[in-house]
Amino acid sequence: MPTPAPDDLAELWPGQSVELLKALHILTPEGRLNQDSRRKLKQVQHLVQQLRPALDRLYEREADPLIVDLGAGKSYLGLILYDLVIGPAKRGSLAAIEMRADLAATAAAIARDSGFDRVRFVAAPILSAAAEAAMGGRRASLVTALHACDTATDDAIRFALKHDAAAIALVPCCQAEAARLLDDVHGPSDALWRHPVQRRAFGAHITNTIRALLLEAHGYKVRLTEFTGFEHTQKNELILAERVQKSNAQARAQLERLLAAVPVRLGVLDQF
């Protein structure tokens, strides 16, 4: 069997499981990285790095933190978080919610084969009774949603607020709701979204601005930053929020002023 090239193994972090990465098809059976899998590995590693300070604070404060990964897909993020953080800490657990039953079942099998015993995979929509049951009546320490498409990111925000998550990490994808709403809006500012490409870009920008202000209004300290380089993914905006107070009147007033000036009413504002 061919041996992995040294530069392929150099991409892995110390202690990172080669067998897990093979099971996730990030590494080939021979332990090699191709161009697509290298991008995926870099994305998830960079996100774990971005989350590490918040995770460290959670582990300092909580004896048994619960990480909830929403719209988990193939569970790259959840399983690698378990491998790098939850497992080595010997405490804490993971609940992964994914609507597609085949993906949830595959991820659960990988977790079993990897010896990850503090993890639960549930095939269900984010806002469902089954997803609620996965919480076991517990508070979410960290809620993540990586590339949850369009309003699924807003479902993740609703879920996180309902369960009073201590920290939230969102990488939105394909924000189309605002663009659809702007299509029918005409007035002094409509030159900003006159063309479809402008509508998509402006819609994505205003959507994430509203999401960030909404979280701030609910008492979170919010940071919007680049998730990873554009060479790895075009959907590279990370919304990272940590609970610091019960509410923020200044952020609420700022959001109200923005909504008075921008002619969109997004579904996530039901939480406002």
Query: What contacts 262, CB < 8 A, 6 or more positions away?
Result: 206
pLDDT at 193 over 90: no
For residue range 150-165, list pLDDT tens digits in order. Answer: 788 999 999 999 999 9
Q: What percent of the chain has pLDDT over 70?
A: 94
pLDDT at 80 over 70: yes
Picking from 101, 80, 90, 97, the residue whose alpha carbon sits closest to that of residue 26 is: 80
- Please check the confidence at residue 257 and state whether its pLDDT lies above 90: yes
Question: CB–CB of 131/122 below 8 Å?
Answer: yes
Question: Going by DSSP bridges, is the β-strand pair 220-226/167-173 parallel, antiparallel, or unpaired?
Answer: unpaired
pLDDT single digits (tens) 4-48:
455 677 888 988 999 999 999 999 888 888 888 888 888 888 889
Tens-digit pLDDT profile for residues 234-255: 557 899 999 999 999 999 999 9
Domains of the chain: 57-263 (3.40.50.150)
